[in-house]
């Protein structure tokens, strides 16, 4: 039998070994100094709990797994892979138009049309009609698929498409599916629909990826149309009994060559999740209108930081205006600096946030961030009414960025997200009009309001802000 002193010594040695391994891994693989320092402190000063927590939550296992999948994925014949060149050439056009190409290696695709849908009242009927008319493929990826009235409509439409030999594939996030009391993947599978969970957490065998979520929302039907944006599948997005939707959101349909790239992104995610390939039939990607588009995939794999780099770069390149509509606003220092620099050089910067956030701690946390921006003349507005879940970035007169990404660390560092750059004066004007309308009904936040907060409120907001990388 070991004496108590010997037992303590052995435990201490074991902790030192675990802590040493954790520190070794952190120093080699953690790029964010703040996150690295936080994990170092936890692993060294919290015996066993720290190293175990880092092993479960701090290691990005997705990158390794994604690299293995990508080797076989590159054999899939779709145009997006063939065009990915990663160049930094003088042939790339200067200004905003060349930023995305330098970051992603993808050229702009001209000849696309874009339609804007407000809330599920407009988006869902169009999506259901597209499913009903599908002839070859329906590829649907979403973070949340609630088994409610709306979810039932989609399930019936997807099952009917499957019954007429349309290749239907559905990908639902493994954590997002827990937003529904009845599990949507099993519900769809019972109806004969091919459905899969993206990185579902489980205990046996251990697989805990709570921070690595697929937040993309994309539906591709045949090769003709794609639906993208921030909207999940839920009855909360539609008006009921004369009452407005509980969640206001903006969704888009795209037609033209960009549809092929969105299909390719879904194929990659689906193969990553299931190991199965999809025999995708390419259609004719004929020009539909005059919008030029570029798909920006972002995630904790090979696409890490793509959207952050695009956002900070296009904001820095703005010459007239920057308009942001987002539900969650906790940007990192790079985007904060870009916004401040834009305002200092005379660019009008406006940020529209929900008056009441569905996550109260997010609203606490961003107040420290907003105080810093208000001092430099950046305008911030709180929008009343339904919780606004739209994600829009509108720059100058012809640039718009749409998709699924929020302006917070979780979305831009940990999630798999989708952004689409769209160069179109028509869409830019329509989205700016939407933001103008939201501002007209909103309350402008003043710096004095934040400066007059009581000490307890300041402490609460500061503590929430301190935790912002993990919110």
How far apart CA 85 and CA 78 sit, in angstroms, is: 14
Pair 386, 439 in one domain: yes
Q: What is the pLDDT of residue 186?
A: 96
Pair 237, 342 in one domain: no
Pair 248, 195 in one domain: yes
Asked if the model's pLDDT at residue 77 lies above 60, the reply is: no
Question: Residue 85: which pLDDT band, with cuts at 50, 70 and 90?
Answer: very low
- What proportion of the chain, given as a percentage, has pLDDT over 70? 86
Asked if the model's pLDDT at residue 431 lies above 80, the reply is: yes
Q: What is the pLDDT of residue 421?
A: 97
**Encoding tokens for residue 314?**
């296009």
The CATH number of whichever domain residue 98 belongs to comes to 3.30.870.10
Pair 18, 115 in one domain: no
Considering only residues 37 and 444, tell me which one the structure prediction assigns the higher pLDDT.
444
With 0-12 CB in 10 A as exposed, 13-18 as middle and 19+ as buried, what is 6?
Answer: exposed
Question: Residue 84: which pLDDT band, with cuts at 50, 70 and 90?
Answer: very low
Number of domains in the chain: 3
User: For residue range 285-305, what is the model confidence (pLDDT) as tens digits?
Assistant: 666 788 999 999 998 766 668
**Encoding tokens for residue 115?**
């339609």
Q: What is the pLDDT of residue 210?
A: 65
How far apart CA 117 and CA 284 sit, in angstroms, is: 25
The verdict on residue 59 lying in a domain is no
Average pLDDT of the chain?
87
DSSP annotation string for 152-172 = HHHHHHHHHHHHTT-EEEEEE
Average pLDDT over residues 430-453: 95
DSSP annotation string for 181-241 = SS-HHHHHHHTT-EEEEES--BTTTTB--TT--B---EEEETTTEEEEES--B-GGGS-BT
The verdict on residue 1 lying in a domain is no
Question: Residue 208: which pLDDT band, with cuts at 50, 70 and 90?
Answer: low
Pair 334, 429 in one domain: yes
The verdict on residue 329 lying in a domain is yes
Pair 425, 452 in one domain: yes
- Boundary (domain end) residue, out of 253, 277, 298: 298
Question: Residue 17: which pLDDT band, with cuts at 50, 70 and 90?
Answer: confident
Pair 439, 333 in one domain: yes
Pair 21, 106 in one domain: no
- Boundary (domain end) residue, out of 253, 281, 298: 298
- Contact in structure between 45 and 52 (CB atoms under 8 Å): no
The verdict on residue 2 lying in a domain is no
Beta bridge partners of 151: none
Asked if the model's pLDDT at residue 408 lies above 80, the reply is: yes
DSSP code of residue 257: T
- Boundary (domain end) residue, out of 251, 280, 298: 298
Q: What is the pLDDT of residue 4?
A: 72
Pair 147, 285 in one domain: yes
Residue with tokens 């940007």: 331
Pair 41, 110 in one domain: no
Question: Residue 6: which pLDDT band, with cuts at 50, 70 and 90?
Answer: confident
Average pLDDT over residues 66-95: 45
**Which of the residue ranges 29-33, 220-224, 282-286, 407-411 has the most confident prediction, judged by mean pLDDT?**
220-224
Considering only residues 455 and 413, tell me which one the structure prediction assigns the higher pLDDT.
455
User: For residue range 51-69, what is the model confidence (pLDDT) as tens digits?
Assistant: 888 877 677 655 555 444 4
What is Dmax (Cα atoms) for the chain?
A: 80
The verdict on residue 81 lying in a domain is yes
Question: Residue 399: which pLDDT band, with cuts at 50, 70 and 90?
Answer: very high
> Which contiguous run of DSSP H or E holds residue 392?
strand 392-395
How far apart CA 342 and CA 348 sit, in angstroms, is: 8
The verdict on residue 58 lying in a domain is no
Pair 72, 44 in one domain: no
Nearest to 142 by CA among 107, 180, 116: 180
Chain-centroid distance of CA 357 in Å reads: 18
Question: Residue 39: which pLDDT band, with cuts at 50, 70 and 90?
Answer: confident
- What proportion of the chain, given as a percentage, has pLDDT over 90? 59
Structural domain range at position 404: 306-470
Pair 333, 392 in one domain: yes
Asked if the model's pLDDT at residue 183 lies above 90, the reply is: yes
Average pLDDT over residues 167-186: 94
Asked if the model's pLDDT at residue 383 lies above 90, the reply is: yes
The verdict on residue 115 lying in a domain is yes
């Amino acid at each position: 039998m070991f004496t108590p002193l010997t037992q303590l010594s052995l435990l201490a040695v074991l902790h030192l070994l675990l802590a040493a391994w954790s520190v070794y891994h952190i120093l080699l693989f953690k790029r964010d100094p703040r996150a690295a320092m936080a994990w170092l402190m936890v692993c060294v000063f919290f015996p066993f709990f720290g190293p175990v927590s880092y092993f479960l939550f701090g290691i990005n296992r997705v990158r390794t797994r994604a690299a293995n999948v990508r080797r076989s994925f590159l054999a899939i014949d779709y145009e997006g892979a063939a065009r990915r060149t990663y160049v930094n050439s003088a042939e790339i056009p200067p200004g905003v138009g060349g930023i995305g190409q330098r970051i992603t290696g993808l050229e702009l695709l001209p000849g696309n049309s874009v339609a804007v849908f407000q809330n599920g009242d407009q988006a869902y009927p169009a999506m259901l009609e597209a499913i009903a008319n599908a002839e070859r493929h329906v590829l649907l990826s979403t973070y949340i698929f609630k088994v409610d009235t709306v979810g039932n409509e989609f399930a019936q439409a997807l099952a009917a498409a499957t019954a007429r030999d349309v290749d239907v594939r559905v990908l639902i996030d493994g954590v997002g599916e827990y937003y529904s009391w009845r599990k949507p993947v099993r519900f769809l599978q019972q109806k004969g629909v091919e459905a899969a969970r993206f990185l579902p957490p489980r205990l046996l065998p251990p697989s805990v990826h709570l921070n690595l979520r697929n937040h993309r929302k994309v539906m591709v039907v045949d090769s003709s149309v794609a639906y993208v944006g921030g909207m999940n599948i839920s009855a909360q997005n539609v008006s009921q009994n004369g009452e407005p939707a509980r969640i206001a959101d903006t969704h888009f349909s795209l037609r033209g060559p960009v549809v092929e790239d969105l299909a390719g992104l879904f194929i990659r995610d689906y193969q990553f999740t299931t190991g199965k390939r999809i025999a995708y039939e390419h259609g004719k990607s004929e020009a539909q209108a005059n919008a030029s588009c570029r798909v920006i995939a972002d995630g904790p794999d090979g696409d890490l930081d793509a959207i952050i780099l695009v956002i900070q770069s296009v904001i820095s390149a703005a010459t007239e205006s920057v308009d942001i509509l987002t539900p969650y606003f906790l940007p990192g220092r790079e985007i904060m600096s870009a916004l401040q620099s834009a305002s200092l050089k005379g660019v009008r910067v406006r940020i529209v946030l929900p008056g009441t956030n569905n996550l109260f701690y997010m609203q606490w946390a961003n107040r420290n961030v907003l105080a810093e921006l208000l001092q430099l003349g950046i305008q911030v507005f709180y929008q009343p009414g339904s919780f606004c879940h739209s994600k829009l970035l509108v720059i100058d007169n012809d640039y718009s960025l749409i998709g699924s990404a929020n302006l917070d660390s979780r979305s831009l560092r940990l999630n798999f997200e989708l952004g689409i750059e769209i160069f179109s004066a028509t869409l830019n004007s329509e989205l700016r009009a939407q933001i103008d309308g939201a501002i007209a009904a909103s309350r402008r936040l003043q710096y004095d309001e934040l400066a007059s907060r009581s000490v307890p409120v300041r402490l609460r907001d500061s503590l929430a802000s301190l935790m912002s990388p993990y919110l």
